[in-house]
Structure 1
């Protein structure tokens, strides 16, 4: 084969691989964002049960609430002065079983998961930006090929 054709094939395979990585990262970003939104909705529902909001229980400089009780959950911004003695039921990982958790433990678990999902979404957004930039830089490949050859590659069909 001609050296130019081999270089073209190599360049196209690199672009195709990076495009596949970009599409996978976008799909993972969508899934992580859905999970993050679901977590946010669950935390809002827990705050409604406890009749608090993110800012309704004022925090002091040391990170505790103004009305500190003997109960450690009383220091929590989500729990506030909510009793929380009734357990909450969660669908376990994989969706095969249910788990009963106390109110305070449940929202702490959701808040930790929310922080992790925020980190994951930010990393995926950076990856999507990086791959998009990389592909746009490689877009000069279209100048080397020519529009008629590019069109024939796009409309190429396998008639086996």
Structure 2
């Protein structure tokens, strides 16, 4: 085979590999969003059960100021969970653990804590996946996958094309 053909074949293989990683990352973003929405729905259901919202539970500072007046031996800081509020934190809830098919009865406070930690992890994973998508898109763009067929100016105009009435 000609050296130019071998070089072109290697470049196409490299481009296809990067494109495959890009498609896999996009699928992972979709799956991650599905899991995040499920967690968000579960947290909302727990907040409804506890009759709280993200902003309805007073801050620890408010509880400190109320407790200071006339209390000599009582602790000044009273921890208030923003999800539990005044709800019984030891009430058992059925929960399916993330990534498994196992149901377990766990205390209310533990259930929402697990879900919140999982939500934070999914948020950080999503940010990593988005940066990976940007990186792979840039690599594919720099290799000029379409530059020999369509000029960059024409491609840019197609991307920014809008319908007018």
- If the length of structure 2 is used for normalisation, what is the TM-score? 0.76
* Larger relative contact order, structure 1 or 2 (CA cutoff 8 Å, min sep 6): 2
Deviation of 1:95 after TM superposition, in Å, equals 4.2
1:79-103, CA deviations, whole angstroms, 9 ceiling, x for partnerless residues?
0001244311112355432111100
The total of aligned residue pairs comes to: 142
CA distance, structure 1, for counterparts of residue 87 and residue 79 of structure 2: 8
Unaligned stretches of 5+ residues in structure 1: 148-160
- Is 1:30–2:35 an aligned residue pair? no
Unaligned stretches of 5+ residues in structure 2: 68-73, 151-165
CA distance, structure 2, for counterparts of residue 121 and residue 53 of structure 1: 25
Checking the alignment, whether the CA contact within 8 Å between 2:90 and 2:109 is kept in structure 1 is no
Deviation of 1:3 after TM superposition, in Å, equals 1.1
- Is 1:46–2:46 an aligned residue pair? yes
Q: Give the alignment of 1:14-25 within 5 angstroms.
A: 14-25=14-25
Report the RMSD for the aligned CA atoms in angstroms: 2.6
Partner of 2:6: 6
Deviation of 1:54 after TM superposition, in Å, equals 0.4
